[in-house]
Structure 1
Amino acid sequence: MANQVILVTGGANGIGKGICEYLVENSPTTNGTSGNETIVIAVDIDENAGFKLVSEEPRIRFRCADVSNEVEMSLIIKEITTQYGHLNGLINNAAVSTPYNSPLEELELTEWHRVLNINLTAPLLMSKLCLPLLKKAKGSIVNISSTRAQQSEPNTELYSASKGGLVALTHALANSLGPDIRVNCVSPGWINTTNEPLRGVDSNQHPVGRVGDITDTAAIVSFLLSEQSGFITGQNFTVDGGMTKKMIYAE
């Protein structure tokens, strides 16, 4: 187990891409593997974004697959088993990114099932498939939830329920898989994943005075993979510049 191997779902865009790039630049020390290469494998359904990712950062491997498809994901896990024989970290980041759904009176159950399959069932499936590899490395799982697990806007039932379920799944898995595997969760707030300029009010409404960037999430993910977090499991870490602790009433 000379090299660290980390699998990131939804790794070709947004926060997932940022996590992949951060991990190859800042290798976490995980259970006896330090000073060697960190192999980051990004899985995403967006093939073009995946090829762009590896062209920009050749140290990242990319596999095009649907995380909710058990057959496709089983083939990727089989490949990791054959090539590396272990897995130090699984980052369950893939999700339907838009938080909004149809109004309840217009909502089709197919819409509900699609979001739940990707946002909640897929992390369970990935955890199951990766279990033997993670046990061998005494690795970690980090689930990426959202502050919308704790607070909502109108017409966000699907996203909020799936992300709230992911927080609950985290502490359930932590109890089932410990002590060999630690399982934690990160709930980002507003993270600017583009280079588009922001308004002053966007930053000023945050208690820390700015909108989050991808590194804010990636850094805590790296910490949760590392030996420094060895006494932490089953926890949800909110990374939102203090917004969920801010009382807001219309004046």
Structure 2
Amino acid sequence: MTRTAVITGAGRGIGRACAARLLAEGWRVAALEKDPAMVAALAARHPGDALLALETDVADEAAVAAAFARIARWSPQGLDLLVNNAAIASAPRIPVEELSLAEWRRQLDAGLTSVFLCTRAAIPALRARGGSVVSMASTRAFQSEAHTEPYAAAKGGIVALTHALAVSLGPAIRVNAVAPGWIETGHLQGPQDGAFPEHAEADRRQHPAGRVGRPEDIAEAVLYLADAGFVTGQVLTVDGGMTRRMIYED
């Protein structure tokens, strides 16, 4: 039977690469994306009934419920995989003493509350198929740049939520996370999609792997975790070795 996945934040970068890879492997994919233009672009890029593209704000409880009700009609046999990828991709860096509660909540809702909402909504369908969850953490859960407190808190929360859910939902549902490092998404997107600038050559050279990451690297990790039957509650770091390298200022 054809396997079915739900991917949040599927309109760009890592989410888009995950959708493309799973579709290429013969999966059916429900792609949730807040930006209506990106929803339309996804549908145009992958015509046919293998992709269901839905405009959804995954930080909104009612919107998530409506999306998963639609997915249940589209895939009544259940779900094999949920990829919680949505987050605010280019969150502002604000000194913590200037950070408003509204901005804190906006980033936590997009990056962490959405994981809770979508996982909770997906549980019955995942349980029906013995499916799994892969959430997108970040190496920012373990190391930081200045003025990124909401983003770091959201990604750190995903790490803790991953092992909590793995214990609560196992053995029926496995729950894991991927922690990407520096991922260069510009080659997948044009300026109209808000592409990130390419990293400098110095950035690439400092990676033990000799390059920064690509969205396809993360899609490969997601595909691995979808089939890794004895792996649950884990965080797979995919960062070209950067969190293992000590760097000293000259």
Residue 70 (structure 1) aligned with residue 61 (structure 2): yes
2:183 pairs, out of 165, 178, 191, with: 191
Q: 52-61 or 184-193, which moves further after superposition?
A: 52-61
Residue 83 (structure 1) aligned with residue 74 (structure 2): yes
Give 1:53 deviation, angstroms: 1.8
The answer to whether the 8 Å contact 1:77/1:130 transfers is yes
Q: Distance in 2 between matches of 1:115 and 1:199?
A: 28
Superposed structure 1 runs of 4+ greater than 6 Å apart:
none
- Which residue of the partner structure matches residue 242 of structure 2? 243
- Which residue of the partner structure matches residue 38 of structure 2? 49
Q: Distance in 2 between matches of 1:72 and 1:156?
A: 27
- Mark the runs of 5 or more structure 1 residues left unpaired by the alignment: 28-37
Residue 165 (structure 1) aligned with residue 157 (structure 2): yes
Residue 40 (structure 1) aligned with residue 39 (structure 2): no
Q: Distance in 2 between matches of 1:47 and 1:230?
A: 36
Give 1:77 deviation, angstroms: 1.0
Deviations 1:66-88 (A, max 9, x none): 00111111111112222322011
Give the letter aligned to residue 224 of structure 2. F
- Which residue of the partner structure matches residue 224 of structure 2? 223
Q: CA RMSD in A?
A: 1.2
Give the letter aligned to residue 35 of structure 2. D
- Which residue of the partner structure matches residue 122 of structure 1? 114
The answer to whether the 8 Å contact 2:10/2:33 transfers is yes
Q: Distance in 1 between matches of 2:151 and 2:199?
A: 24
Distance 1:168 1:19, change over 3 A: same
Distance 1:47 1:205, change over 3 A: same
SS in 1 for 2:89: coil
- TM-score, normalised via structure 2 length: 0.92
Give the letter aligned to residue 41 of structure 1. A
Deviations 1:25-68 (A, max 9, x none): 124xxxxxxxxxx2101101111112112212224221001001
Q: Distance in 2 between matches of 1:182 and 1:239?
A: 19
- Which residue of the partner structure matches residue 4 of structure 1? 3
Q: Distance in 2 between matches of 1:198 and 1:95?
A: 21
- Mark the runs of 5 or more structure 2 residues left unpaired by the alignment: 188-196
SS in 1 for 2:186: coil
Give 1:172 deviation, angstroms: 0.3
Q: Distance in 2 between matches of 1:200 and 1:107?
A: 33
Q: Distance in 2 between matches of 1:150 and 1:100?
A: 19
Give 1:153 deviation, angstroms: 0.7
The answer to whether the 8 Å contact 2:19/2:29 transfers is yes
2:143 pairs, out of 144, 151, 156, with: 151
Q: Distance in 2 between matches of 1:60 and 1:82?
A: 14
Q: 229-238 or 51-60, which moves further after superposition?
A: 51-60
SS in 2 for 1:250: coil
Q: Distance in 2 between matches of 1:79 and 1:131?
A: 15
- TM-score, normalised via structure 1 length: 0.92
The answer to whether the 8 Å contact 1:101/1:158 transfers is no
The answer to whether the 8 Å contact 1:116/1:158 transfers is yes
Distance 1:67 1:206, change over 3 A: same
How many pairs align? 238
- Which residue of the partner structure matches residue 213 of structure 2? 212
Q: Distance in 1 between matches of 2:42 and 2:91?
A: 25
Q: Percent identity?
A: 42
Give 1:118 deviation, angstroms: 1.1
